[in-house]
Structure 1
Amino acid sequence: MNSIEYQIIAIGASIASISFIRTLRENNNVEKVLLVHGEDRLPYKRTKINKHMVRGFDKEEFRIADELWYADNNVDLIYDRVINVDAEEKVVSTKSGKVYSYNKLLLATGAASVIPKVLGLDNDEIHGVQNAHDVDRVLDTCSEKQRFLIVGGGVESVETADQLIRKGKQVILAGRTKFPLQKLFPENLLTVLVNKMHQKGVKLFSGVSVNHIKKQGDSYMTSLQGETIEFDVVIACAGAVPNTELAIKAGLKVERGIVVNEYLQTSDKDILAAGDVAQHARGIVTGLWHSAEHQGKLAALNVLGKPQKHTLPPYRLKTEVFDLFMFSGAYENVMPGVDEAVEETYGDICRTMYYVEDRLNAAVFINDKDRAKVYQQALFERWNKDMVNEQLPLPPKMSFAFGASLA
C-alpha cells in the first residue's frame, strides 16, 4: 500500500504534541505536520477533566486550541488511532487503514488508568478518570447512582471524591497509605485535609487494599477493616501506566515508559517521545502537565537541530479540594533529618518550608493561593531563608505587587 508522506508526524494529541508543534512554528519551521488523535474531540487539557464532574462539560470546553489554530499552523489533524509503527520502513498505520511515512516521529501517547484486578468484578465494571472518555462514562452511566467507592489515595482520588461530594453523592475512599496524598504532603497538613473530608461526609479507610468485591443485584459490597461496605459504583484511581504499545511494536527500548535520552530521543534517533509516556534518567516518568509541555518544546528543538538538554524541574502540584487550596513543591526531595523543616501557621494558611544549607529545597502549603507563583519562583531559584521571609512573609503583606507581576 502506498503511504502518504509527511516530514513530521506526532501521535497523541497531548500538550506535549501541541507544544512540539508550537515550538516548530516559533522557530520558523513551516513543514506540514500530521497530528494523529485517537479521541473524539479536539486536543484538550486533561487535568481539567475530573475537576469538573459536578457541572459536566462539552467536548470543546477544555480544548487547548481551536480548529483554526491547526489550519493556521499547517497541521493536518486526523481523528484516528495508530495501530502500528514500523521504524525500519518509517511508516505508521492507522485503524482506518491509512499508512503515513515520516522523517521524524513524536510519540506523545500519554498514559492510561491502572484498572486493578479485583476478585468478583469484570474490568468494565470498574471506572477510571484518566481522560475525557473515562469521565464521560462516569457521568453518563452513573448519574442515577448514589454510593461511590473510590480505590486509591492519590490526587485523582481526592479530586474525584471532592467532585462527587459536591454532586451530593455518598463517597467511600479506600487507600493503602495512612493518609490520602501522603507522598505529597507532611502529616500536619494532611490532618487538615482529612478533617475537611470527614466534615464533608467522606468515609475514609486507610491502610487497606480492595481485593474482593461481591456483586448483589445492581449494587456491590466488600469488607474493609471488619466493616461491611455497600456501594453502587467502583472508581479506580490507582495511578496511570504509560501507553507504550506502539513503542514496543516499533522495537524501541521500553521499561516503565519509553526510554529517552536527555534530548528526548528514543533508541531510534528519528523517533522522539515526550510527556507521560517518556521515561527519563533514573527511571523517572513525570506525569505532569507542565513537564510534558516542556518536553514537547525540547523535542521540537532537537528536530530543528537546536538541541537543549532536559532537566527535571521540581515536582509541583496545585489542587483545590474540600474548600482547600493545596500546593506541593519538590516534596519528594525532602530527607528527614537532613532538611530543616520550618512549620508556620497564620489563620487558615498552613505551610512547611524545607531548607538545605539555608536554601529552599521544598515547600508545601494550604490556602495561600494568591502567592502560588511566587512559591514556584522561590523553589526554582532556591531562595535563601531571608529572601523567603522577605518576599513570602506570614502574615502576608496587605499589598503584594511582587507576586502580581509574575502572573
Structure 2
Amino acid sequence: MREPVGLRAVLDVTGPWLPLISFLARLPAGLCPTGTLVMVTSLGGIRRAGLVAGCLWAGQAAGGPFIGRLADRRGQRPVLLTASLLNATATAALVASALGSRPTAVQAVCATVAGLTVPQVGPLSRSRWVGLVRGRPDAPALAARAVSLDTTLDEVGFMVGPALVGVLALLVGPAAGVGCAAVLMLVFGTAFALHPTAPPGAPAAPDRTEPLLSPSLIALCGIAVSQGCLWGATNAGINALAHGPGEQGVAGLVWSAMAVTSTLAGLAVTVRSRGPATARQLRTAVACEAVLTCSLLWVRGFAGATAAVAAIGCAVAPLLIAVFGLAARTAPAARMGEAMTLLGSGLIAGQGMAAMAAGQVASAHGPGWAFGLACAAGACASAAAFGFVRTGVRRPVAVDPTTTGPTTTDPLIPPQRAAPSEGGT
C-alpha cells in the first residue's frame, strides 16, 4: 500500500526513532492516571483514589507551564533529564506508599510530587516538531502534519496505557501499572531528553516582549480544561462501576476503548488533512463529543460503558489536533513550549478537578452522577468553542509557525476583535 503523501516528509525530518522514543517516554502519562485510580481504589477505596489521583493531576497541571517555560529558556535537554529522574523516583515512592498502606496524606503528597515533576513529553515534543520544520518552504503544512501525528501518538499512548494497566492489574497486581510507568520514565524519558533534536534554550531578551496569552490561547485553554473534566469524570464513573477488586483491571480496559477509536480518528485526520487545523474542525469535533457524551447517562454496566466511551473517542483526537494545531499557529515561536504545556496543563487540571469531584459523588450517589458531570463538561467545551469561534469558514492562517509572531488576525475571534501584532515584523 502506498504511503500517504506528506507523512514520509514528517518522518524524514528526524527519522523514525524520535517518534518511537517520544511515544515510550509519554506512555507513563497514559499509565499513571488510570493506574493510580486502579491501584488506590483496589487498596483503599474509590474515595481515597479520587483524592490521590486528583493530587497527581493537580501537581502536573501546576508544574507543566513551569517546566515548559524552563525548557524554552534553558533548553529541553537539561530540564527534561532532571524532570525524568525526579519523576521516576516520585512515582516509585507513590507505589511504595500505596502498597505500604500509608495514610491518605502521605499518598497524596507522593502523588503531588510525581505530578509536579512530569516531564511534559507530549507538549514539548510538539514544540520540538514546530521548531524542527521552521525555515522550510513547506513549513506550515509540514508543522500541521507533524502536530497531527504527534497528537495521535498521545492517543495511542492513552489507548495502550489503560489497557496495559488492566492487563498488569489482572496478571501481576493493582500497583504494577504505576510501577511500569516509573521504569519507562527512567529509561525513555532520559532518552528523549538526550536525543540530538532537543532544542537549546533561548533566554528572553530584555528589549523583546512576546505576550503568551492571547484571546485565542485563552479560549483554547478553556476548551482544554473542559475536555480534561470530561475525561476525569468519565474515568471516575467507570471505576465506580466496579464492584470488587478484580473488576478494577476491567475498568482500565473499558477506558482504553475511547483511546482506540480516538487513535483511529486521529490517524484518519493526519493522513487525510490537506492543511492546518481550522476553527470549523474544532467546532465540529467539540459539538459531536458533547452529543456523544450524553450516552453515558444510560450506562449501567461495563458493556454499555465500553460502547459509550468508544463512541466519544471518535471526536477526541480531531478535537485535540485542532486545539494544538491552532495553538501552534497562534503562540509566539519563542514561547511555543510554554504554550503547549499550558494547554496540556489545562487538560490535566480538568482531569484532576473532575476526578476529585466525581470520585466523591460517585462514592455517595453512584456512577450516574459522575457521568452527569462529564456531560456538563462537554456542554462547557461546546460553549467555549462556539462562543469564541465565528460562524462560517475561517479566513487563512493567522500565524505562520515559521515566524516569530502573529502576522494577521487572531484565528479564534471575529475580525473586528482581532488582537494587534505582538512582536511580529
**Same structural fold, with TM-score higher than 0.5 when normalized by the shorter chain:** no
Bigger helix share:
2
Which of 1 and 2 has greater Rg?
Answer: 1
Bigger strand share:
1
TM-score normalised by length of structure 2? 0.28
TM-score normalised by length of structure 1? 0.29
If asked which structure has higher relative contact order (CA below 8 Å, sep 6+), I would say: 2
